[in-house]
Amino acid sequence: MEPHDAPDLSAFKLAFRRHAAGVAVVTGRTAEGVPVGFTATSLASLAAVPPLATFNMARISTAWPAVEHTDHVIIHLLGARNRALADRLSGPHDARFAGDHWVPGPHDLPLLTDVPAWMLGRIVERVRVADNAVVVVQIEDGGLGDEDAALLYHERRYLTPGELAAE
């Protein structure tokens, strides 16, 4: 079968709708001390030695000033039990840090409690592309919480991993 043609740029949206991604939350603190953060489906490993990871964001994000002007963020990997957290950190800004779902962590950054894993990242590159940015971090510390099924975002829904793909 030959792939069908879809030469207009909706190809991008249609293609990414078929892509599945793990769900993370990135948190930071602005130079003024305000906690900021957002749900990200772009977290990716870049290298293991040294430990490097990337995530993407819009520069209109309320978290951009923290990424632009401070050195560290915390990246949290979400599990199935954190579904509500994914919604909260992608919802109204005033509600993102209203509650007891976080504590001050390393560098006084917001550390979400009850996540399967988190990593402290030192920002080593900020690559501005159009109105967006690719952020490269070197992982300096981290911790593990209780295990859980990974939280996935796929076709605009939150899912968990299912069956093994047939060989």
Window 80-109: residues binding a copy of itself (CB under 8 A): 80, 83-84, 103
By CB under 8 A, tell whether 46 contacts a copy of itself: yes
| Closer to a copy of itself by Cβ: residue 32 or 91 | 91
CA dihedral (130, 96, 125, 114) positive or negative? negative
Site size for a copy of itself, by CB under 8 A? 84
List the x/- string, 148-167, binding to a copy of itself by CB under 8 A: xxxxx-x--xxxxxxxxxxx
By CB under 8 A, tell whether 33 contacts a copy of itself: no
By CB under 8 A, tell whether 45 contacts a copy of itself: yes
Name residue 10's amino acid: S
Tell me phi and psi for residue 37, to 5 degrees.
Answer: 180, 165
Q: Considering only residues 114-143, where is the footprint of a copy of itself by CB under 8 A?
A: 114-119, 124-125, 127, 129-132, 134, 136, 139, 141-143
| Closer to a copy of itself by Cβ: residue 31 or 125 | 125
Provide the b/e sequence for 36-45 (b: ≥16 CB within 10 Å): bbbbbbebee
Single out the residue of 47, 49, 46, 110 nearest to residue 76, CA to CA: 110
CA atoms within 13 A on the CB side of 37: 27
